[in-house]
Structure 1
Amino acid sequence: MTSTPAAHRTAEEIGRTPAGPRPLPPLGDQRGAANLAHSDTMLGNGLRVVAVRKDNVPLVEFRLAIPFAGADPAHPAIAEVLAETVLTGTARRDRVAIDTELALIGAELGSGVDPERLTIVGGALASGLPTLLDVLADVLTSAAYADAEVARESERLVERLAVARTQPRIIAREALQTRRYGTHQYTREVPKAEDVAQVTAEQVRALHAAAVLPRGATLVIVGDLDPETIPATLESALGGWSADGAASVLPALPELAGGDVLLVPRAGAVQSQIRLSARSLPRTDPRYAALQLANLAFGGYFSSRLVENIREDKGYTYGAHSGFEFTGDSATVQVEADTASDVTAAALLEIRYELAKFGVVPPSDADVESVRQYAIGTLQIAMSSQSGLAGQLSALTSVGLGMDWLLGHPARLAAVTTEQVAEVALEFFAPAAFTGVVVGDAALLGKHLTALGGVTVPGYDTAS
């Protein structure tokens, strides 16, 4: 006996009843998170330590963030090599010894760098925390940067950078950074392969001595631990890591102003990258919660207006998104979409239309309630794991915030009104507030973008 397959129902049909759309259930009372006792302490060497008990699993996670700005044109390349080689050996442990000790306690260590900071992240079984901290202290105070290790990792890095610099997303990011901030050192996110090839082990050792400093850095540690005793444990473990100076903080960014979008030529490209940016609010601003909900409604999740327009309705892109970027005390909002060349101008037109409409026709009560539930739910999911909580806290400590702010944020989101969302939507999503870039084939895009207006097309002859 064969059965007739059920008729396919669309998402809209599933979400409706004979009486209309299914109403959202009311937002429940926000319960306090369990097992999140915490401490926030400054060690004698100037290192800020935020420790949180989250003992659902017998593990610990930490995030060490050291301000690591540098004005020297060679700094990005040297810093990148340092991040690649800082864990390859110390005065008393070679690479194999480090890896072996970490493996015996179920631990991992990793490092990375950007124009703002050097980060070292790790995790281990809670019982292995003393060993993990001993290895970390050894790396911080006596990383060797052996000539052979630096040469080997630099060669690998050169190959990766050569490939990365051909990727459209990297090209678009560099173009946007230059458009927003000119020659500011924050724009030097990806060093040039040829600069990395010139880095010496001596330069890396000198940078470590001058810049890997505790004063001004933060260490977030989360897991099966006692937050009251952790500061003393770290004081003992990291007591040898000290210096008179402070870690180097990135200079303030110039204030972002709106203006024409710049076409950045990429000959032969079959796709274009649209990147727009405008001034936003830092998380320390009382209006940030309202702006967070406004961003979600505009383009911050799959059911947003932007996605509905240029992905679901028009089919111009597989993915469109808006989101925040926090740098020091500054904040910006970005709008991004990758499109086929033949619909790039149309997609840019629709993005501008949605930005303008967002201020004039702001989200409704139902829209705000939907994004509110999404924001609170995703925050609680992110805080449910040790690594997620450590990552959230590490980002907050960079601007002087901590666990109290994070625990209080669901209540701030719950208190936002529709009128508050409308106010920030009008102020921060106005099309004139944005500038940015379009990366694509100028021969295909120039005519249409010039006709659209508000786009600078270098070298384009309107008579052609």
Structure 2
Amino acid sequence: MTNPRVATPDRAARPAPAAPRSLALPRFERHALANGLRIEHAERCGLPEVSLHLVLECGAGAEPPRLGGLGELTARLLTAGTPGRDAMEMARWLDRLGVGYRATAGYAVGAVSMHFLSEVFDEALEFLAATILDPGFPEHEVERIRRERIDEIERQADDPATVAGLATIAELYGDGLYGRPVAGAGATVSEIGPEAVRDFHDTRYRPRGALLIACGDLDRERLLSAVEARFGAWSGEAAPVSPPETPEPRAKGLILIDRPGSAQSEIRVATVGVPHNTADHHAIIVANAILGGLFNSRINLNLREDKGWTYGARSSFRFRRGAGPFIARTAVETARTGPAFEEVLREIEAMRTAPVTADEMTLARNALTLSLPLQFETAAQICGKVSRQRVFGLPDDYWETYRSRIEAVTPEAVQEVCRTYLDPDRLTLLAVGDAATAEPTLDGLGPVDVRSAS
């Protein structure tokens, strides 16, 4: 008997893609303790892991401007000792449990994230309670962490990309909240002492206003019983951090920060953007993907692939409770500073004056939606996404409807948001580089304000 002949596949032809995976999210149940601590929980069996995400209204917007960086410094000090354990004992406790612990502060909120095996849940929650309810903030640890932070700031002053980023937000927002680095500047961090840290913690680390998100191999009864036992006696309220007023975006000419001897110029084209929860949010996301949010975006294909002037060019709208910035950024050989500005501005103007192509729309939609399920694979990822929804007041179905809303964006909507938010008369241009080489390339871009980097 002979075997039937099997057709040989055409290996020169690309296989047809599979149907897009649907986004299946676990269902979160909402609870609250009597003290006001809100809890959201989703049981997710299959892997013996748990992620916790505690969100607190303790961002930079809650700190005095003269003590900028206080929220970040407080977050870094949470594991630096309790009345019963010093910093080394806390570190050994964490290592023994095998727990991932991270505390951060943003402009509006701070967050403590933990990830661990479900079998150590009770002791992991005990560790979380110790750091949130009873941190000691010993003077020598405050001094050590403060010194580390000042050293970081001093090192960042030697990084032209950081200098460009900080100078850009200062130009856009002035003395406002978003014009300051979220982790503070050298002059403000130097003023922070133990009492300031303790006062900030006493005021902002409170249950009413806080949210605990839990996802993983953990049932509701076990979670609620343990949280009540550890956090039930916690008391107080922290009011939400209000967004700052939005400054009127306006062009400020071209600012050139002199960094003698730099082989490259860091380039920024920026303006005041929009809050996260804005009506044309999804159109803005698609527009930015086409302009500078993807590798195949217009400014990257122009400056990197066509011109060969840079390793990469990107843009982003930074969504916050208030109007965060839009920033297009790249780094080019210093002699290409002016031409690079011209190309970025030309690409922005093209987005404003003509609809994008069907191929660009397809690429952007696919890039933004087909990878979405990969962003919800782990308990930690899910907690982070839910946290984002709650912090910015997004609808409960934000992620479930994300794909359909992105796919509903039209080329005309993309053009309209570019017209609305990327007005050339409101763009700030800034470069950090060797002024002697860069300035002669800037003819035609308007008056140049040359400043010292120091």
User: Structure 1-normalised TM-score?
Assistant: 0.85
Contact preservation (8 Å) 1:259, 1:432: no
1:360 — aligned with what? 353
| 1:31 and 2:25 aligned | no
Give the counterpart of 1:315 among 308, 318, 323: 308
Contact preservation (8 Å) 1:280, 1:331: yes
Ranges in structure 2 where 5+ consecutive residues have no aligned partner: 1-11
| 1:240 and 2:236 aligned | no
Give the counterpart of 2:449 among 433, 452, 457: 457
| 1:139 and 2:151 aligned | no
| 1:90 and 2:82 aligned | yes
1:52 — aligned with what? 42
Q: Mean alpha-carbon deviation: is it higher for 383-392 or for 133-142?
A: 383-392
Closer/same/farther in 2, CA of residues 47 and 338 from structure 1, 3 Å limit: farther
Give the counterpart of 1:325 among 318, 323, 331: 318
Per the TM alignment, residue 281 of structure 1 is displaced from its structure 2 partner at its CA by: 4.3
- Aligned pairs for 1:416-455 (under 5 A) are 416-449=409-442, 451-455=443-447
What letter is aligned with 1:291?
I
Contact preservation (8 Å) 2:51, 2:115: yes
Q: Deviations over 1:237-277 (max 9, x none)?
A: 32232214435445334243445332233333222111222
Q: Deviations over 1:326-378 (max 9, x none)?
A: 22132432211111110010000000010111122322222211111110123
| 1:277 and 2:270 aligned | yes
Closer/same/farther in 2, CA of residues 303 and 455 from structure 1, 3 Å limit: farther
Q: Deviations over 1:402-445 (max 9, x none)?
A: 65212221222233233333332333344334224222222222
- Aligned pairs for 1:11-410 (under 5 A) are 28=19, 31-33=22-24, 36-68=26-58, 69-70=61-62, 72-189=64-181, 190-193=183-186, 195-226=188-219, 230=223, 233-246=226-239, 248-401=241-394, 403-410=396-403
Per the TM alignment, residue 71 of structure 1 is displaced from its structure 2 partner at its CA by: 5.2
Per the TM alignment, residue 123 of structure 1 is displaced from its structure 2 partner at its CA by: 1.1
Distance 1:58 1:273 in 2: 46
Closer/same/farther in 2, CA of residues 455 and 65 from structure 1, 3 Å limit: farther
Distance 1:400 1:456 in 2: 41
Closer/same/farther in 2, CA of residues 420 and 185 from structure 1, 3 Å limit: closer
RMSD: 2.9
SS at match of 1:291: helix
Closer/same/farther in 2, CA of residues 201 and 233 from structure 1, 3 Å limit: same
Aligned length: 438
1:8 — aligned with what? none
The percentage of aligned residue pairs carrying the same residue is 26
Contact preservation (8 Å) 1:90, 1:138: yes
Q: Mean alpha-carbon deviation: is it higher for 352-361 or for 221-230?
A: 221-230
Distance 2:17 2:414 in 1: 19
Distance 1:276 1:257 in 2: 12
Distance 1:274 1:83 in 2: 32
Ranges in structure 1 where 5+ consecutive residues have no aligned partner: 1-15
Distance 1:292 1:194 in 2: 36
SS at match of 2:398: helix
Contact preservation (8 Å) 2:35, 2:208: yes
Q: Deviations over 1:64-89 (max 9, x none)?
A: 23233245344224434322221111
SS at match of 2:81: coil
Closer/same/farther in 2, CA of residues 158 and 457 from structure 1, 3 Å limit: closer
What letter is aligned with 1:136?
L
Contact preservation (8 Å) 2:20, 2:370: no
Per the TM alignment, residue 194 of structure 1 is displaced from its structure 2 partner at its CA by: 5.2
Distance 1:54 1:358 in 2: 43
Contact preservation (8 Å) 1:30, 1:410: no
